[in-house]
Amino acid sequence: MADLSKYRNIGIFAHVDAGKTTTTERILKLTGQIHKTGEVHDGESTTDFMEQEAERGITIQSAAVSCFWKDHRFNVIDTPGHVDFTVEVYRSLKVLDGGIGVFCGSGGVEPQSETNWRYANESEVARVIFVNKLDRMGADFYRVTEQVRKVLGANPLIMTLPIGIEDEFCGVVDVLTKKAYIWDETGLPENYEITDVPADMVDKVDEYYEMLVETAVEQDDDLMEAYMEGEAPSLEDIKRCIRKGTRDLAFFPTYCGSAFKNKGMQLVLDAVVDYLPAPTEVDPQPLMDEEGNENGEYAIVSADEPFKALAFKIMDDRFGALTFVRIYSGKLNKGDTILNAFTGKTERVGRMVEMQADDRNELTSAQAGDIIAIVGMKNVQTGHTLCDPKHPVTLEPMVFPTPVISIAVQPKDKGGNEKMGVAIGKMVAEDPSFQVETDEDSGETILKGMGELHLDIKVDILKRTYGVDLIVGQPQVAYRETITREIEDSYTHKKQSGGSGQFGKIDYRIKPGEVASGFTFKSTVVGGNVPKEFWPAVEKGFKSMMSEGVLAGFPVLDVEVELFDGGFHAVDSSAIAFEIAAKGAFRQSIPKAGAQLLEPIMKVDVFTPEDHVGDVIGDLNRRRGMMKDQEAGLTGVRIKADVPLSEMFGYIGSLRTMTSGRGQFSMEFSHYAPCPQNVAETVIAAEKEKKAAK
């Protein structure tokens, strides 16, 4: 039996280019898992093993590795930083107990760090902060910690201070023990010496030590009282308080260093052991009832409980389908039969492996707290609960964002259709934020995703991994429709053709619903003019029409329907008659209710050197952008704006031209907003033309 208190399930997450993957490489090197560190910029890092990752120098899918440090077992997940792949971060956080938030010493808190931090807060994951790249131009540890306070609203508990800055950066001071760790120029992580604090830093270290102790003892009333009376707490007591505060998200122990130069990493690994929670110390996962609500029971992390696990990622590789699983309770042995609570089907576990990025070690058993992969599971998807067939349970499922952009694709050669179908099927199973549908009229395959880069990578994977060459259409925006005013109307469905007929009359009000409410229905019929048993049929009829609006056939959002009267026939009325009546009523009334086109608005975050700010803002205004905020940093200016997605295609090219290649941006979906009349007319005309052409 493994000792669960020695387990740490951690993720590494940050903005693009803050150094997550390099940090992971250094952890693997320090823990003896790899002997030669691979560099991201050479396309050789352990966890970026996809061709597309090596080429672009970015992480696309989260990768899992296991290693040991000071007799503790670390299961580490390196996650992507790019906004188009946040689903990978989100699902990794769901199964982790702790994390390392990496921030760039010069870039500071960047847009994607904010999104990931928000996800981690929602998942209540305890974190330590690592301010990386302190050897870079413009790096400033104190500025970054201030940004963590202001931008993230988090409380950084400063545990180490940098010695020297930029080119002069040579080591760190451990505030708690008041010792300096200084590395030599060889770049080897083990070549450091522990010395006294440099003379010019003594006062600063004392000041930060006071702040550290004051913040820590707030976690224990007795210690705090003793401290107020002048009694110094012991090192063990301070560490115990830091551990409690970290677990309760009261503060985040903050470290600094340079992963690339191998400076400061050991202290971060020690912090994972000392302050991040073991699987048994995290609030257990709630269990769900059949309606998807919490039933008051929990998946207790213990090897003695019945088996419960969550499938959080599907990956298809050269060995077949891999299902990544976090085991919350119980044990799992090779050959066991387990139940998929979602499908109600059982499956036998043939092979289990421990992942080392894209290598694997065979396992015969695993237990609560482990993150493993099972080979060859059928019909298991991301978010499914796997459990003991004798004790069926459902864990809280995952919620994924809806795609906002789509492209039409078709294979270049006729024979490629089947091949493409199989490949896309595998890819949809791997990535829940990637969806596919077939346009019934034209027979085209429509791929939907989170952004241009997301779909670009998917097309690239289809071509290289699966050998399917595609003709790719122009990106399409996921427009929606809604209504703008309340109307009262009546509709009668009557059909008489020998034998029993069909009759259903409904009087109803249709009005705009609350934002993001989707479709809501209520009945206030009194006196039995529309018998109660037909109400669900009326609701079903209206609801079924929401998928296709009257303007251009886009899905309809935020409509409220109230059934207040009607009429029925003792013989001819039936559920189907009232359902047909509701469908007819929808077609009749939506155009009268001021139907309107909505477009997706993106939260855009642009970073630009100061001398190009005017150009960038002017360009965003031309793209119908609404300026939200502007913030000057040391190396440039961050501009936040809300911009319609339709205006953002190809933006990276324009931005690079305007800023001589130095600008960067990220965007994520914010909300739907009404389209201006001229834009709406163009979109509607284009949709009608498309339909006519078919």
**pLDDT band at residue 481 under the 50/70/90 scheme:** very high
Q: Is 440's pLDDT higher than 80?
A: no
Q: Are 490 and 514 in contact (CB under 8 A)?
A: no
**pLDDT band at residue 50 under the 50/70/90 scheme:** very low
Neighbouring C-beta atoms of residue 105, cutoff 10 Å: 27
Q: Which tens digits make up the pLDDT trace of 553-569?
A: 889 989 999 999 999 98
Instruction: State the Cα–Cα distance between residues 360 and 372, nearest whole angstrom.
Output: 10
Place of tokens 């630009």: 608
pLDDT of residue 353: 83
Instruction: State the Cα–Cα distance between residues 173 and 182, nearest whole angstrom.
Output: 9
What average pLDDT does range 643-669 have in this prediction? 81
300-387: CATH, from 2.130.10.10, 3.40.50.300, 3.30.1330.60, 2.40.30.10: 2.40.30.10
Q: What ranges make up the beta strands (E) of 571-620?
A: 596-608
Instruction: State the Cα–Cα distance between residues 555 and 546, nearest whole angstrom.
Output: 6
Fold of 597-679: Alpha-Beta Plaits (3.30.70)
pLDDT of residue 244: 92
Which residues does residue 100 pair with via DSSP β-bridges, in sequence order?
12, 128
- At 244 the three-state DSSP class reads helix
- Neighbour-count burial for 477-491, b at 16+ CB within 10 Å, e otherwise: bbbbbbbeeeeeeeb
Q: What ranges make up the beta strands (E) of 478-579?
A: 480-482, 487-495, 502-512, 519-523, 559-567
Instruction: State the Cα–Cα distance between residues 589 and 489, nearest whole angstrom.
Output: 7
Q: Which residue, 492, 586, 497, 594, is CA-closest to 543?
A: 586
Q: Which residues 6+ apart lie within 8 Å of 297 measured at CB?
A: 286, 287, 393
Fold of 484-594: Ribosomal Protein S5; domain 2 (3.30.230)
Q: Which tens digits make up the pLDDT trace of 510-569?
A: 999 888 788 999 999 888 889 999 999 999 999 999 988 888 888 998 999 999 999 998
CATH code given to domain 408-476: 3.30.70.870
Cα 394-330-87 angle, rounded to 5 deg: 50
Tokens coding 396: 């809280």
Q: Is 35's pLDDT higher than 90?
A: no
pLDDT of residue 161: 92
Give domain limits for the chain.
4-281, 300-387, 408-476, 484-594, 597-679
Q: Is 499's pLDDT higher than 70?
A: no
Q: Is 579's pLDDT higher than 90?
A: yes
- At 539 the three-state DSSP class reads helix
- At 175 the three-state DSSP class reads coil
Q: Is 586's pLDDT higher than 70?
A: yes
Max mean pLDDT among 85-89, 256-260, 338-342 falls in: 338-342
DSSP letter assigned to residue 472 = E
Instruction: State the Cα–Cα distance between residues 312 and 93, nearest whole angstrom.
Output: 10
Q: Residue 205 carries which side chain, given as an amino acid letter?
A: V
Sequence-separated contacts (24+) of 395-400 with Cβ below 8 Å: 395/285, 395/286, 395/287, 395/288, 395/299, 395/308, 395/310, 395/328, 396/285, 396/286, 396/287, 396/288, 396/294, 397/288, 397/292, 398/90, 398/91, 398/94, 398/312, 398/432, 400/87, 400/90, 400/432, 400/433
The chain-wide mean pLDDT, for the chain, equals 81
Q: Which residues 6+ apart lie within 8 Å of 693 measured at CB?
A: none
Instruction: State the Cα–Cα distance between residues 456 and 433, nearest whole angstrom.
Output: 14
Instruction: State the Cα–Cα distance between residues 330 and 363, nearest whole angstrom.
Output: 16
Q: Which tens digits make up the pLDDT trace of 125-164?
A: 899 999 888 888 778 889 889 988 888 888 999 999 998 8
pLDDT of residue 63: 53
CATH architecture classification, 4-281: 3-Layer(aba) Sandwich (3.40)
Lowest-pLDDT range, 119-123, 213-217, 254-258, 345-349?
Answer: 119-123
The two domains 4-281 and 300-387 share their CATH topology (first three levels equal): no
